[in-house]
Structure 1
Amino acid sequence: MITLSKGGAYLIGGTEVVETGAGSEELLKNKLGDKYLTKEDAAKNTMAYGILNEHNTSGNMDKLQIKFDKLTSHDITFVGIIQTARASGLEKFPIPYVLTNCHNSLCAVGGTINEDDHMFGLTCAKKYGGIYVPPHQAVIHQFAREMLAGGGKMILGSDSHTRYGALGTMAMGEGGPELVKQLLSQTYDINMPEVIGIYMTGEPAKGVGPQDVALAIIGEVFDKGYVKNKVMEFVGPGVSNLSADFRIGVDVMTTETTCLSSIWRTDEKIKEFYDIHGRVDEYKELNPGEVTYYDGIVYVDLSKIKPMIAMPFHPSNTYTIEELNANLEDILHDVEKKALVSLDGQVDYKLTNKIRDGKLYVDQGIIAGCAGGGFENICAAADILKGHSIGADEFTLSVYPASMPVYMELIKNGCAADIMAAGGVMKTAFCGPCFGAGDTPANNAFSIRHSTRNFPNREGSKLQNGQISSVALMDARSIAATAANKGYLTAATDVDVEFKGRKYHFDKSIYENRVFDSHGIADPDTEIQFGPNIKDWPEMVALTDNLLLKVVSEIHDPVTTTDELIPSGETSSYRSNPLGLAEFALSRKDPEYVGKAKEVQKAEKAREAGQNPVDALPEVGGVFEALKSNLPQYKIDNDTVGIGSTIFAVKPGDGSAREQAASCQKVLGGWANIACEYATKRYRSNLINWGMLPFIYESEELPFKNGDYIFVPEIVEAVKNKATDVQAYVVDDDKNVKPFTLKLGEMTDDERDIILKGCLINYNRK
């Protein structure tokens, strides 16, 4: 189904791939003659290069400084973003900024605080000149597809699944501080990313959907890091065999590969999408050049893709449904073994008890959100369900159209009625099933979902309370086939169905009647409406000359997700309250973290107040004495040594773009992370923007352990001087002092200044 090139490759005429290697240059020269280009010149013919070049303000395509055309956020992120920007002198949104309300839509959770956030968003849209999309109208990415995307444009969103490449828009999901920079007319600074060609041929079989294609790609590239922090560029003749909705469904899941962004070649089907939505002038034909060089190629034979399933607890844990059904006990046992790592043995997790009469029984099906809630997905599910019943046993089915216009069309064409007649429940646009705030199954239940993620707790269970359920990712078509089979896992290719291929009609009046659009006109006299849970960021001090860090958590899982760093679900209601939310930091991975971090923070608060930190945390006295005795060359006193906490994780930051994965550590006194590598660029950026040092120690054989202190002398000088290696010393329980080296990695001048000043707010404060 999916194969990967071993190196770079040329794409010729959009249809022929020539991989580089022994003899390839001569072959290309003979084949192309005067059209031959070097790798460097041919790399400029990618669609990605062209779009980045048009948005780069640095004048240097190796060191990009990007200004985006539009911004988008949702109600878990926009409060913190605007609060940060306000603290930095925001007066007006300089570019279109859309505030959607699709995450904290259930306003009974946490009292009034969710709706308070919505009213904050509405009044800010009025005051600063933005667009406000009320709850239940649309999920963030569907509204962006329908109303924001444009050919050759760039959009930045504070949600990791900000992907509109299928529509010819390069979009990126980042933590909130990167949007703050755009609101303050600053830039998004990155090195020119590598570009990987996703070369598609063939045509999907009947019953195969976009989630199947996406999961097949994710399963092949994730573990290899093949597209990590790179742009995925979808090309090849197979693209033309996919509808706009199908491409969108594949595109949104590219986040789970850990790529930076995506872009697709466009054609008449994409032009029709814009035409349907009344924005045909936003269409732009995009194609790679006649001779284009890619840093790698992912070959996707669409005709060989089969219905897929991503088993718990990661979208890359993929199998074909056929393979799973044929090896049921072995694969379920394997998932149970992996759960011992993912769940730290906190609960007795079982899947093999879901086998009934040799088949896998599923408790719940969900079709939802930016990945599953599209028009074609739900229509296909309705075609499969028509005339069937999901039964009256445990199995339930919920369907969430991605926007109210989609929902309206499903009502008009009868698909909603067919789903409800079968026993399914139609619900409004909501992202909850994707992050653990909606449709939480029963304890030990197993859910199949056409959504984006299946990390632990993404379905809403709480390990600390002994509650566990789990999610597998599937396409809407196979979810519907399973529902029609009353909960027994079934591939859509195994059912006899006629897909009607209904045409979509977009009703723009739905948004005209409900969405507030300032049309870019700010009203500075508008009073922002605050709720009691909306709090300012606490004051943060600048980086001190030297640092003393206590290791307060040590995580050796292969990957640590942002859900484990700061849980989603009901805790999302507290994201407008920095200190309130911080109480939940690492609560599902290391429940002792918050208490330990706060103990260390007492010493730093005392130091900042001009008091003796030893009085607040007596153990620091022994550490200081050991350092003074062993390292007399350094000045070690209360004025020059900041005291804070740090965590170690092998590979932290996979998953969500949420800045709170870093900011919660910061407000609890965190000064740094130490990792073998960072899972995503966006998590490392979040650390930097919150004034935390993104240290690297490449081996898991650590010179320190949980509870040790790490002294980092002359760190300010190291940051100023652009040092890549940083001298550090471990002080263990016996007060032995041992040297080791940390790496800082590449940072821009602005990023170094942000670190030195303590956070982005301090950097921008007037």
Structure 2
Amino acid sequence: MGTKNPGRATGTVTQQLIEAHLLSGRMEPGEEIALRVDQTLTQDATGTLVMQELEALGLDRVRTEVSVQYVDHNILQTDERNAEDHTFLRSAARRYGVWYSKPGNGVSHPTHMQHFGIPGKTLAGSDSHTCAGGSLGMLALGTGGLEVALAMAGRPLHITMPHIWGIRLVGELPPWVSAKDVILELLRRHDVRSGVHRVLEYHGPGLASLTAMDRHVIANMGAELGATTTVFPSDDAVHRFLHSVGRGDDFTELLPRPGAVYDLTDEIDLSALRPLIARPTSPGNVVRVSEVAGEPVGQAVIGSSANPGLRDFAMSAAMVKGRQTAAGVSLDINPASREILQDMTRSGATFDLIAAGARVHQSGCLGCIGMGQAPAAGRNSLRTFPRNFPGRSGTEDDAVWLCSPETAAASALTGVITDPRDWAAQYEVAPPDLRLPDRPAVNDAMLEAPLPPEEAARVGLERGPNISVLPDFDALPDTVEGPVLLKAGDNVSTDEISPAGARALPYRSNIPKLSDFTFTRIDATYPQRAADVGSGGHFVVAGENYGQGSSREHAAITPRHLGLRAVIAKSYARIHWQNLANFGVLALEFDDPDDHDRIRGDDRLRLSGLHAALAPDADAGTALHLTNTTRGEEYAVHHSLSQRQRTAVLAGGIIPALTRDALG
């Protein structure tokens, strides 16, 4: 978990960013703080709900410095539903004063980094990988869509003040090892729960050899450790990047102060790293590539927000140039942006990839979110993606491995998982001398600027038949009693609560229809059983790190739509815990984690005295007692909700609380 410092963090870049944006609260770990938000980012898989929330809030025009709506997830148009979402999103962007990035323009995170990212600014995004913006020295926070909608409306973003985990980098990466191996090494050491309520802040002499886009790779997958965000300093590497894309004037130096101290510390010697790979089902299941070499490969996919840089595609192209992918292997290329595709084509990399047998797809997320490129069942798929949760690829019986572009390309050529160092030695291949352009392509033709206020006010929202309105949720009763409709173990992901993939994703704007997919990856009978129980309410019981992964608030809304009133778990992932409170679902934790094992599916539970226990003036540590009426047992449980969150849960969610002026 890193070495703890007996003192308190001081002088870090993270603290400087928080200090500059702090509106209320104390900068003490565990305290709720409120931050001013400069920029927001939404994408199409979560953005339709954000726009519906802006409508419910009665917003006239966004109040941030910059807000951008990207269309990068649901761009596989097999029928009219995704196209309807795009039309709705464009109309909402025009109505509310938001930039609009057209379908196929690029993945939100690297595109935002190139066009809008500014050191020293705060960025709130309705995508958990918004933390990639920390590569530029931003405080970039992935959060639920409603939190982003509130920020767009000029309200503060509330988070729990994190501990600051200093990761010191020394040395330089050896040949055939790249930035993806850095973050995989951190996951290998610490697994997927280690970063909860922590910011990962990188520092040290090893930074000098990492480009801004290398840092993007590392920052992006801080989400896989559950971290609040990742922060890099804004230094010469950031200056070079901004200058290269024509925005040198946006540079501001932001470095740790002399003698900066971190709450926890760790060190990575870059020169000692070796190619790493995450085995199927968890980004934390990391081993050396050499340990699994020889496993057969059916697919290799290069791209996504976790490896979006021109360098990653150029490296892959250089490795396969003049060669042919192995028989039975599909090599898929997802350019991260239209501009990167332009640079790949100008340099000849696109030709080299196509000649080697690669398939070049649209600029977007695609296979990362299970929207196309689904692998064959049971066949190993190597991906440069950030996540490999079961079924996320769009194939129920998938076997997805996470690795670097070097490992993916070498394995595509050999047909088996291959350490790129071994491949290079066998074929006497020297590390490629990549000559990337000093001035990469800059193309803003697919970015639509916000309309002037008077023109925007005349725009109406274009809502197709697949786009619902935000559901109304009732207040929390004083007593909740009902069955346990789902009993789950550790590390349940939001992909398992509200699935990705081409079957479910087109219904992201239609909560009643999307609800039919809720928990079906764990229990296909859940939606019908919830409907049978009805509005009386039911419970979900889970283990550690409940709700890890994507920020999608659908994973809170659809169970709530089906009658979920409370979750009792051993612990929660940060964003999902916030989302549950935002939509009136009570998130409780066992005092004794062993009590989890005493409850069985279909046991009936009862919580009473909720209004007194959650009252704004109640002691934050007020005990709650959970009664198992089936077994005649009682369990001690508690919550970690702030006064603001308790008010929201009692009202049935943030929007009902605001409607009743309960939050001020």
| TM band (smaller chain) | over 0.9
Q: CA deviation at 1:737?
A: 4.2
Contact between 2:160 and 2:197, CA under 8 Å: does it hold in 1? no
Aligned equivalent of 1:591, options 518, 521, 524: 524
8 Å CA contact 1:103–1:432 kept in 2: the answer is: yes
Over residues 572-614 of structure 1, what are the superposed CA-to-partner deviations in whole Å (9 max), with x where a residue is unaligned?
111101111011000010112112211221xx3xxxxxxxxxx
SS at match of 1:76: helix
Q: Secondary structure at the match of 2:457?
A: coil
Are 1:286 and 2:254 an aligned pair?
A: yes
How high is the sequence identity, in percent, across the aligned residues? 28
8 A Cα contact 2:625 2:636, kept in partner? yes
Select the residue among 470, 491, 495 that pairs with 2:419: 491
2:593 to 674, 679, 699: 699
Give SS of 1:156's match: strand
Q: Which residue of 1 aligns with 2:537?
A: 644
The equivalent residue for 1:97 is 67
Aligned residue number for residue 16 of structure 2: 50
Contact kept, 8 Å, 1:218 with 1:257, in 2: the verdict is yes
| Alignment partner of 2:450 out of 501, 509, 518 | 518
Please say if 1:6 is aligned against 2:3: yes
Cα offset, 1:5, TM superposition? 4.3
2:368 equivalent to 1:442 = no
- Contact preservation (8 Å) 1:73, 1:157: yes
- Give the match for residue 118 of structure 1: 86
| Displacement after TM superposition at 1:44 (Å) | 2.9
- Offset of residue 547 of structure 1: 1.6
1:684 is aligned to 2:577: yes
Letter of the 1:241 counterpart? S
> 1:133 corresponds to which residue?
101
Between the two proteins, the alignment pairs up a number of residues equal to: 642
Unaligned runs of 5+ in 2: none
Residues 33-44 of structure 1 aligned to structure 2 (within 5 Å): 39-40=7-8, 43-44=9-10
- Say whether 1:667 aligns with 2:561: yes
Matched ranges for 1:625-644 at <5 A: 643-644=536-537
Match of 1:551 among 473, 484, 505: 484
**1:505: how far off?**
5.4
Q: Are the structure 2 counterparts of residues 104 and 68 from structure 1 closer, same or farther at C-alpha, using a change threshold of 3 Å? A: same
Which residues of 2 match residues 44-83 of structure 1 at below 5 A? 44-58=10-24, 60-62=26-28, 63-83=32-52
TM-score by length of 2: 0.94
Tell whether the 8 Å contact from 1:240 to 1:267 is kept in structure 2 after alignment.
no
- CA deviation profile, 1:130-172 (whole Å, cap 9, x unmatched): 0111111111111111112111111011111112112111111
Distance in 2 of aligned mates of 1:521 and 1:253: 37
Partner of 2:161: 192
Counterpart of 2:115 in structure 1 is 147
Q: CA deviation at 1:761?
A: 1.9
Partner of 1:377: 312
Q: Distance in 2 between matches of 1:55 and 1:553?
A: 40
Letter in 1 for 2:493: T
User: Residue type matched to 1:478 in 2?
Assistant: T
Deviation, 1:420, is 0.9
Measure how far apart 1:503 and its partner are. 2.4
Does the C-alpha gap of structure 1 residues 722 and 114 become closer, same or farther in structure 2, counting only changes over 3 Å?
farther
Aligned ranges 1:223-238 → 2 under 5 Å: 225-238=193-206
Aligned partners of 1:647 and 1:595: how far apart in 2?
A: 15
How far does residue 709 in structure 1 lie from its aligned partner after superposition?
Answer: 1.9
Correspondence for 1:726: 624
Greater mean alpha carbon deviation, residues 395-404 or residues 429-438: 429-438
Is the 1:459–1:470 contact (alpha carbons within 8 Å) kept by the matching residues of 2? no
- Give the counterpart of 2:492 among 554, 560, 567: 560
What SS is found at the alignment partner of 1:388?
A: coil
Native 8 Å contact 1:89 1:765 kept in 2: no
1:484 Cα offset (Å): 2.6
Matched, 1:85 2:54: yes
Secondary structure at 1:155 match in 2: strand
Give the distance between the partners of 1:186 and 1:547, measured in 2 at CA: 31
SS of match in other structure, 1:371: coil
Please give the alpha-carbon distance, in whole angstroms, between the structure 1 residues aligned to 2:286 and 2:476.
44
Give the TM-score taking structure 1 as reference length.
0.82
Does structure 1 retain, via aligned residues, the 8 Å contact 2:194–2:226?
no
Equivalent residue letter for 1:61: M
SS at match of 2:336: coil
Are 2:302 and 1:367 aligned? yes
Q: Distance in 2 between matches of 1:290 and 1:235?
A: 12
Post-superposition CA distance 1:440-461 (Å, at most 9, x none) = 1122211001111111112211
Assess if the C-alpha contact under 8 Å between 2:303 and 2:313 holds in 1: no
Q: Tell me if structure 2 keeps the 8 A contact 1:383–1:497.
A: no
Q: Over aligned residues, Cα RMSD in angstroms?
A: 1.7
Which amino acid in 2 is paired with 1:714? G
Once residues 116 and 561 of structure 1 are traced to their aligned partners in structure 2, the CA distance between those partners, rounded to angstroms, is 28
Match of 1:107 in 2: 77
Q: Could you say if the C-alpha distance between residues 655 and 191 of structure 1 is closer, same or farther in structure 2, counting changes exceeding 3 Å?
A: closer
Give the 3 Å change call, closer, same or farther, for CA 258–700 of structure 1 in structure 2. same
